[in-house]
Structures are given as C-alpha cells and as structure tokens.
C-alpha cells in the first residue's frame, strides 16, 4: 500500500518531552487496557540517566512512542505503542530499530520486554527482531489478570544481529506495506 510507504517516509523519531505526554496518553488509552498515567510518564521523563523515551511524529502529530530502561549491559523496553489508525505501516518496526540502536549506544548486549499472551501481532514483530520467550509473568496485567511473556533478544551488538537488522531495514524500505 503506497500510503504506508508515504507515512513511513514522513515519520521522524525524536526525543519525547513533557509537552508530548498528553498526546502520548491519548494513544496509551486506546492501545492498552491498563494505560500508564501522566505521572508515570512524567517521572520516567524526569530520569535523565538510565532511560530513553522517544516519539514517532508525522508532522507535528505523535503517532507512536517507545521507552527504554538501561541496566549494565541490558536494556528493557518499558513501553511501545502506535496509534491504531497507523498500525501496519511500519512505525512499530521503526521504533524498534531505534530502540535497538539506542540500546547498543548505551552498552547493552541484551534487550528484554513483556508482552501480553493475547498480543500475537506484537509477538510476531518481536520475533522478527530475534526476541524469544524465556518466561511467563503470571497475572502481569492486573486489571485483566492476563499473563505476559518475558522475551529477550541476545547479542544485539553482534555482527549476526546487525545482519538481522539490515534485513529488517531493507524490507521496511523496499515494501510498500509492512506486515507484522
């Protein structure tokens, strides 16, 4: 779909700021059954070290975002979301590529996340990036009681992983529509 390619070409990813929280919350409430509050985002953004929050923008409109937390040699994706009307246009892939690059820049060798059992679309995307389930967090989502997979991608700074990313980037740039 040419519209998806045009959207990706116009999307920029940059730092998330406090002034962006209102727009981020609008997406958050539409995507997650247990959305973060503005105070959670504000406290995460206030942490200058050990965190990275970035937003995907189409013009001035925020269409997605992602968050990272760093520990020695590991990064953890704290949140990632795309506005529903922009799903399947490659924006989540762009955000993950950015997350991996930022993680490597911060010295991470592994990248982890949690994902709901029912979110098969996100799981497929994460598998493309080399994530594999390593455990389960029972009742992780308190409101729904749903379990979450704990997924890890290992050796993200390796040449093999760089080749995986190059393949994902090539697919993203060559296809008019990206399927996850």
Q: Which residues are catalytic?
A: 114, 126
Count of alpha carbons within 13 Å of 170, Cβ hemisphere only? 6
* Beta strands at 74-82 and 61-71: parallel, antiparallel or unpaired: antiparallel
Q: With contact defined as beta carbons under 8 Å apart, do 91 and 8 qualify? A: yes
Distance CA 19, CA 89 (A): 25
DSSP secondary structure string for all residues of 55-79: EEEETTEEEEEEEEEEETTEEEEEE
Q: With contact defined as beta carbons under 8 Å apart, do 94 and 9 qualify? A: no
Q: With contact defined as beta carbons under 8 Å apart, do 52 and 80 qualify? A: no
């Amino acid at each position: 779909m040419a519209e998806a390619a045009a959207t990706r070409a116009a999307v920029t990813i940059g730092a998330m700021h406090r002034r962006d929280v209102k727009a981020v919350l609008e997406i958050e409430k539409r995507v997650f059954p247990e959305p973060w509050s503005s105070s959670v985002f504000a406290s995460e953004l206030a942490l200058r070290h050990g965190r990275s929050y970035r937003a995907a923008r189409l013009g001035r409109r925020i269409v997605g975002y992602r968050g990272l937390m760093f520990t020695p040699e590991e990064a953890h994706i704290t949140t990632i979301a795309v506005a529903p009307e922009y799903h399947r246009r490659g924006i989540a892939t762009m955000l993950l590529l950015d997350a991996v690059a930022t993680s490597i820049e911060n010295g991470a060798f592994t990248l982890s996340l949690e994902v709901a059992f029912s979110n098969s679309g996100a799981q497929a995307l994460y598998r493309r990036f080399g994530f594999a389930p390593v455990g389960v967090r029972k009742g992780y989502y308190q409101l729904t009681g749903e379990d979450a997979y704990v997924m890890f991608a290992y050796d993200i700074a390796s040449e093999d992983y760089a080749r995986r990313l190059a393949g994902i980037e090539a697919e993203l740039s060559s296809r008019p529509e990206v399927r996850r």
